Chain A
Amino acid sequence: MREVERVFREEYGRVVASLVRRFGDIDVAEEAAAEALLVALDKWPAEGTPPNPGAWLTTTAGNKAIDRLRREAKGHDKHRQAMQMYDDEPPEPTGVVTDDRLRLIFTCCHPALAPEARVALTLRLLGGLTVGEIAEAFFVPETTMAQRITRAKKKIKVARIPYRVPAPADLTERLAGVLAVVYLIFNEGYLSTSGAAPIREELTGEAIRLGRVLRELLPDVPEVAGLLALMLLIEARRKARVAGGELVPLREQDRGGWDRDLIGEGHALVRECLETNRPGHYQLLAAINAVHTDAPTAADTDWAQVATLYTQLYAVSPTPVVALNRAVAVAELDGPEVALAEVDRLALTSYHAWHATRADLLRRLGRSAEARAAYDAAIAATANEAERAYLSRRRGTLAT
């Protein structure tokens, strides 16, 4: 990627968000940003990148939008509207954070939009990914993704989905929706639900970037810090997680291949959350990952701590998936038989990890025939090639 394009992508969310606030229209903002890129591509290589490229792009795009609106101004009203746009809006009343990107992400993640549209819009408008890139990342044809985004933008416009940080009474609930979208993007990149590529770095990288933006904008919300910490601690293990096209489970990973900088950053955030002492879903997941990344070897893992954290997590999010993960820790503490009893109580028969966990516990109990059937079921339930490769090899090690 060329320098201009790298800067453009980096600044895209800020530029578009500022233009949406000013002109009240996403399409106008996007078109103006694209025009500003053309000017930048023309000027920057010769004149050098301006000292504040974001401000330069915003100003240039703003002028382009005004030019366009004036050109299109046929009726009196439109002309007056265009003229008024020379006046920047009066300063916002102080109080809630007013960064334009924060408003825009709440618009993109609005509950009145379909979940897949929230993800796509967030990647497009905040992340600056092209429609083609988003389509590729989610394995759908570009026309499908373009329609999805167009429909969502149309709904924002005609239903008047506001461009605003929600009122304090709704903020926690709406923020949970935003964090869910960011984590969904991360997970889609981390362990793809379809296709051959097990990890799509661009999505995990983008989710972390969005997590950092949220952290910068909402520094006092512990769940925001928790989500960023969680993503950093998972990302830190990325290189060690796949070897030779095969998924490597945590306990077999080469810990020398973990990214110590990301782990350090993640641990600092987890410590900060612990001091704040307002635990939540993402903070607890981050804390669990902090315990794992704190252990020099798999044998050093503090499983009692992991189990305690999963119990706390279950109190916040009582889902069978949390119970399944807790059972994995229980297996290390109380043995596979106790864990298997817990796992068998869970209604997760269509979830590949449930079958894979059962398979592993049955293998450790020497119940080879049942373990084989469980591996078969796990392989049938996942489309991820690296995971299938791992499960097939494990199945091959069973005694006959």
Chain B
Amino acid sequence: MTHYLLSVYMTESDETMSEEEIQRTYQAVDDFNDKVRSAGAWVFAGGLEPIESATTVDGTKSDPIVTDGPFAESKEHLGGFWVIEAPDLDAALTWAKEGSAACAGKVEVRPFQPEPA
């Protein structure tokens, strides 16, 4: 089994959804989450607060620098993610297709490195 990160990318235009659309999306994501759990593929998942809430920290130098805002200026931001367990990429892609439809956002699928033995 491999762990895959399913990242949901939101673009600025996605933030103009109506209240009704937002509620429908929440419900679809809840249903999808239940399905992932009952299939035993669930590891962790969560939605993120809007990008304005981000703070970037650079601790690579002796004096850490804290700045307001995201690491990269971009029109697309990580809006949330799932970490799932799947036997192979096909299985992960099947989850990603469903998850993408549920949350109405594009999903990027990436395998985690295997844990050191």
A-to-B contact residues, CB < 8 Å: 77, 110, 112, 158-162, 164, 166, 170
Which stretch from B43-51, B74-82, B88-96 is at the chain A interface?
A: B88-96
Produce 1/0 per residue, B38-78, CB < 8 A to A.
00000000000000000000000000000000000000000
Q: Give the contacts of B87-117 with A (CB-CB under 8 A).
A: 87-90, 93, 109-111, 113, 117
CA A164 to CA B88, docked complex, whole Å: 11
Q: Which residues of A contact B110 (CB under 8 A)?
A: 159
**Considering only CB atoms, which chain B residue lies closest to A167 in the complex?**
B90
Question: Does B89 contact A162, Cβ atoms closer than 8 Å?
Answer: yes
B2 at the interface (CB under 8 A from A): yes
Q: Shortest CB–CB separation between residue A331 and chain B, in angstroms? A: 44
List chain B residues, Cβ under 8 A from A161.
Answer: 88-90
CB distance from A76 to the nearest CB of B (A): 11
A162–B90 CB distance below 8 A: yes
- A77-B117, A159-B109, A162-B87 known, 11 other contacts, Cβ within 8 Å: A110-B89, A112-B93, A158-B111, A159-B111, A160-B89, A160-B111, A161-B88, A161-B90, A162-B88, A162-B90, A170-B90
Q: How far is the CA of A159 from the CA of B87 in the complex (A)?
A: 10
Chain B residue, CB-CB nearest to A170: B90
Task: Give the complex CA separation of A133 and B20 in angstroms.
Answer: 58
Per DSSP, are chain B's interface residues mostly helix, strand or loop, or mixed? mixed
A-B residue pairs in contact (CB < 8 Å), sample of 14: A77-B117, A110-B89, A112-B89, A158-B111, A158-B113, A159-B89, A159-B110, A159-B111, A160-B2, A160-B88, A160-B89, A162-B88, A164-B90, A166-B90
CB contacts (< 8 Å) of A164 on chain B: these are: 88, 90
> In the bound complex, what is the Cα–Cα distance between A77 and B87 (angstroms)?
21
Chain B contacts of A158 at CB under 8 A?
111, 113
A206, B2: Cα distance in complex, Å: 36
Bound-state CA distance A158–B3 (Å) is 11
Instruction: Give the residues in chain B near A112, CB-CB below 8 Å.
Output: 89, 93
Q: Which residue of B lies closest to A110 (CB)?
A: B89
Whole-angstrom distance between the Cβ of A164 and the nearest chain B Cβ: 8
Centre residue among B2, B89, B90, B110 by max chain A CB count within 10 A: B90
Question: With A and B bound together, what is the CA distance between A77 and B117 in angstroms?
Answer: 10
